[in-house]
């Protein structure tokens, strides 16, 4: 049985009827994800037929993956504050689609968590987004999401891309990661709180209304 909130039917690019639940099953059974299945990891994302906002992040952290709840950490608390929404709203897949660039915790590298797999989002995001036609706003968190979705429109680095947020409105807003470790970045870029966050909250509220 498909998991809750993954139950809409719709056409694929091949013209074959498919559902969000079917895509979920395909992700779980994909041989490329067998290592995660062996570890007991379920794909960590949220998708609803009537979702209004897509939040595209990096990849689940270890705590979120093990809990089975996306953004279940200090970064998630900060993100809710930035968005100006309640946790009830954020956890409603008919309002927010949560689509990291990889749906599985990638493991630890020498400098922190490993990056999301390069081919994952390109394979699975289009299939899911096709079945969520009500998306009004896409929020791109971090360099991986921005490089993928903004393609040639991203700036030289993350700071410049986020600072140029008005260029991507009204459909898209780039953000820095809400990790507490980014406090120095925020201290050096006060425009983020003063200029960007009020606009972000305005567009989030409009998309949800």
- Residue ranges with strand state E in 34-171: 53-56, 96-98, 108-109, 112-113, 137-141
Q: Hey, how many other C-beta atoms are within 10 angstroms of the C-beta on 42?
A: 15
pLDDT tens-place string over residues 23-56: 999 999 999 999 999 999 999 999 999 999 999 9
Tokens 């998306």 belong to: 135
Distance from C-alpha of 202 to C-alpha of 145, rounded to nearest angstrom = 22
Residue 18 has a pLDDT of: 78
Domains, in order of start, for the chain: 9-208 (3.40.470.10)
Mean pLDDT of all residues in the chain?
91
Tokens representing 55? 């939040």
> What is the pTM assigned to this prediction?
0.89
The closest of 78, 62, 56 to 150, measured between CA atoms, is 56
* Cα four-point dihedral sign 85, 91, 96, 101: positive
Residue 129 has pLDDT above 80, yes or no: yes
């Amino acid at each position: 049985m498909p998991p809750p909130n993954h139950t809409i039917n719709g056409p694929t690019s091949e013209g074959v009827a498919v559902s969000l639940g079917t895509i979920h099953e395909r992700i779980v059974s994909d041989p490329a994800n067998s290592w995660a299945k062996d570890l007991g990891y379920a794909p960590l994302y949220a998708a609803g037929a009537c979702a209004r906002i897509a939040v595209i992040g990096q990849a689940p952290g270890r705590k979120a993956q093990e809990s089975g709840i996306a953004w279940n950490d200090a970064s998630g608390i900060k993100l809710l504050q930035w968005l100006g929404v309640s946790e009830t709203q954020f956890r409603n897949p008919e309002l927010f689609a949560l689509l990291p660039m990889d749906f599985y915790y990638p493991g630890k590298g020498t400098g922190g968590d490993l990056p999301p797999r390069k081919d994952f989002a390109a394979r699975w995001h289009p299939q899911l987004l096709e079945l969520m036609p009500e998306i009004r706003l896409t929020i791109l968190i971090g360099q991986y999401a921005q490089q993928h979705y903004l393609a040639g429109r991203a700036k030289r680095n993350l700071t410049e891309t986020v600072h140029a947020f008005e260029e991507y409105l009204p459909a898209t807003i780039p953000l820095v990661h809400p990790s507490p470790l980014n406090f120095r970045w925020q201290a050096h870029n006060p425009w983020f709180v003063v200029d960007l966050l009020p606009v972000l909250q305005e567009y989030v509220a409009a998309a949800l209304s």
